[in-house]
Structure formats: structure tokens, C-alpha cells
Amino acid sequence: MRLSFKNIIVWLAVVAVPATAAAETFSLDSCRRMALDNNKAMRIARERMKASEYGKKEAFSAYLPGFDFMGTYMYNQKEISLLSGDQMLPTMSFDPSTGNYGYNLVTKPDGTPVTTPDGQPVPSQVALIPKSALTYDIHNVFAGAVTLTQPIFFGGKIIAMNKIADYARELSGKMYDNAAKEVVYTVDAAYWQVVSLGEKKKLADGYIALLDTLQRNVKAMIAEGVATKADLLNVDVKLNEANVDLTKVENGLSLSRMALAQICGLPLDSDMRLVDETSGHKYFDTIVADEYSIEDVYENRSDLQSLQLAVKLYEQKQNVARAEMMPNIALVGAYTFSNPNVFNGFDKSFKGMFSVGATVSIPLWHWGGRYNKFRAAKSETVIKQLELDEAKEKVELQVSQAVFKTKESLKTLQTTENNLAKADENLRQAQLGYREGMNSIDNVMEAQTAWLKANSEYIDAGIDVRMCNVYLSKVLGTLTY
């Protein structure tokens, strides 16, 4: 009886239904969604987008006046006194005869002033200023100020910083888009790896079923005397090898499921079952970009758009560096207060005053430091432009390679599909010939090995078409998520 590959797969699917009924089934789109929601790289990209949005708001605030408050308290050990001791000041009286004021002095009988040994006249009247009158308590001093600063002209620095923030926000969006496409591509690779190993497990089970059937037939033929024990030993060896290969495939399948679960943000022990494992779908659609506009590719590629934004961003950094060589003008206002205050003597109470003015800062000479900073920023812009040009050349080559690879994978799939039909027929003829005594057991096992290889190559070719399709969409910038 002919045991075809399709019959084996159907039989295994029916047998496997009760064992996998409890497992949750995931489609490719659901795996993509889970990965985009839970993947660490995507969460990092989303936080970068938030940070860039906050950065834009911060840059815009530089246009607006800034308000600041400063307060201080100080304890002083000693009081402050403006006099070293009590002071006696000479007084003056008005002389109507001269029309002027004159000092009140002690005079001799002849009218001349009495002087001290050092020649200073002696006043007849003094005004006493005690030291305590000009001694102030500054043990506890409180002071504060509320200031306003409104930028007027900063050499275009504020405008440049706002443009940098805009480009940074756009750049974070492009980086998110690029990260999402990388995640989608990674998910697809892991997804189809699981599907591939699942198909190969079914194939290995089918191959073992073929060998089991052959083993039973050989045993029956030995009983009839038309086969030898050597034939049975050859089948047993092949059967053992097939069981070892099945174990390897099962281990690889388990590890691939873990890898897919990790990418999707699920526990590693999740029993993920994929739609394409059980659909039996054997047709592999593909897109071959025979005609495409490289300019459209440049516009669709988020990584190239990121580099374009980087060039613009570094151009604005040049403007920032240039602004540091230009005058800065700002309007300032303040309200200052203190306790004790000096607005009414030395009063121990809070009092203050308003003040308004403008500040101008003009850089004069910094030994070429700021100019060299501008030149360095200009060189960095040139570097980014060269990196963009180089990336465009690489993208053009990458697209060409992806197109060739996609066409090659489609031809390989067609070839393996033809080989699969021939391997099925070859196996049927070998089994029929063995039953009629025209072929040896070696011919049958060779046919079975060729059948296994043809099916394995067909599975690999089908998965390769899938991955080439996704990769081509990725390099063309048309991959959606």
C-alpha cells in the first residue's frame, strides 16, 4: 500500500488534535502584535518618543520668560557697629555779621581759638553720637529675590534648539518605526522557524512510519523465506537513525517555541501552537519587485529618513555653535527683599524693592575656541551627509540582492516541488518493485531517503520564500506592522 506524505500528515494531524487541544493557537499577526506590545526594544523606543516630546516642550519654553526665586538665611556671631566708640562732633552757629556758619570754639581773651597740643581747635559745644546708636543686630539675616529673565536675542540659539528638538522628535518616531520593522522581521523568522521544524517533525514521523511499515514487511518476507536478516538489520539501523533525528527535531522545535515566546513577551514554557502548523497550507505567495523606484525606496526606508534628519539636526548644531560667537541680550526684572532692611534705617522687618534692566553679553576673545567649536560642528554635518550617501549606495545594493534572492527562492521552490512529485513516484515504484522481488531492500531505503530529502528541501524552500518575501518588503520599506 502506498503511504504518501499528505496522507501521513493528515493522519498525524488527526491523532495530534486531542494532545494539543488545550494549547492556545497564534497567528503570525497575533505574534507580531504581542511582540510590538511587549518587546523590550519597542518599549525603549516608545520611551524615547516620550523623551523627545518632553524635549520639544523644554526647548519651546526658552522663548518664554523665566521666573526664579532665591532665598537665604545666615546667622552671624557678632553685631555690626559703624563706630569704634562714642563720637563727639563739633557744632556750628550762624554769624549774622559774615552771613556764614562758624564752629563754636573755646577762645582766649584776645579772641583766638584755644588749641590742643597737636594744633587742633577746641570746640565749646559738641554733638554726642553714642556707639550704641550705630550698632545693629545682624545675628539673624533673611534675604530673598524673585527674578524674571526674558531672552531678547541669543544669536539664533533658541530657534536652533527648537528645530533640533523638532528633528529629534521626528527622529525618535523613525527609530520607533525602524525598531518595529526589525521586531516584525525577527518575529517572522522565529515564527517560520517553528513552522519549519513542525513540518520537519511531521516529516520525521512520516519517515518513521514508512520504516515501520517496511520493517513489518521485511519480517513477513523473512518468515516466507524471501528476505534475509541482513535486510532487517539495515532497516533497523535506518529506523534508529530516524528516531535520533526525530529527537533532535523535537528538541529544536521546543527551543524555537521558547525563542518565539520570549520575543512575544510570553513565558518561556508557553505551549504556543501556530496557525500555519496545522493549516496544511502549501502555497507560498511571493512578491518580486521587477520594477521599483529607488527614490521611493529612499523615502520609505525609516533608517535613511533617520540619517536625513540627523543631517538636519547637525546643521542646527552648527547654528548653536555660531550663536555662541554672537551677543546675548536679555531683559531682567527682580524684586529683592531682606530682614533686617536698610530702606528705613536698619529696620528688623521684611521690606523690598523692584528693579528692571537689561543685560548684554558680547564675546570678545576666546583664543579661537568657539570658532573651532563651530568648525567641528560643520565637520560633523559633513560626516553625517557622507554617511547618508554611503547608506543610500548600500541600500540600492541591498535591494538588488533581495530581489535576486527572492527570485532565486521562488525558482528553488518550484524545483523542489517538482522533485517532491518525482520522489513520491520513485518511492511508490521502489516499494512496488520490492514487493514483486525486482528491487532490493537497499533500493527501497534509498528511495525513502530521497523522499525524505525532497520533502525536507521543499519545506526549507517554502520557508525561504516566506522569509525572502518579508526581507524584500523590509528593504523596500513597505513592510507594515
Q: What is the pLDDT of residue 282?
A: 52
Closest CA to 392 of 261, 461, 303, 267: 303
Closest CA to 15 of 201, 239, 193: 201
Q: Rounded to whole angstroms, what are the CA distances from 192 to 197, 204, 263, 325, 477? A: 8, 18, 13, 58, 21
Q: What is the pLDDT of residue 288?
A: 65
Q: What is the pLDDT of residue 63?
A: 95
Class of 5-66+154-326+365-476 in CATH: mainly alpha
Which residues have a Cβ under 8 Å from the Cβ of 203 and sit 6 or more positions away? Answer: 5, 452, 455, 456, 459
- Name the residue with cell 535613511: 304
Q: What is the pLDDT of residue 280?
A: 59
Q: What are the sequence ranges of the domains in the chain?
A: 5-66+154-326+365-476, 87-129
Q: What is the pLDDT of residue 290?
A: 66
- Percent of the chain as helix, strand, coil, to the nearest 5: 60, 15, 20
What does the alpha-carbon distance between residue 377 and residue 322 come to, in Å, rounded to a whole number? Answer: 9
Q: What is the pLDDT of residue 22?
A: 46
Whole-prediction pTM: 0.75
Q: What is the pLDDT of residue 283?
A: 53
Mean pLDDT for each consecutive 10-residue tract of the chain (481 residues)?
39 37 77 91 92 95 95 93 87 86 85 84 88 87 95 94 96 94 93 92 92 89 83 90 94 94 89 81 59 89 94 96 94 94 86 94 92 95 96 95 92 92 92 82 89 93 91 90 79
Q: What is the pLDDT of residue 224?
A: 82
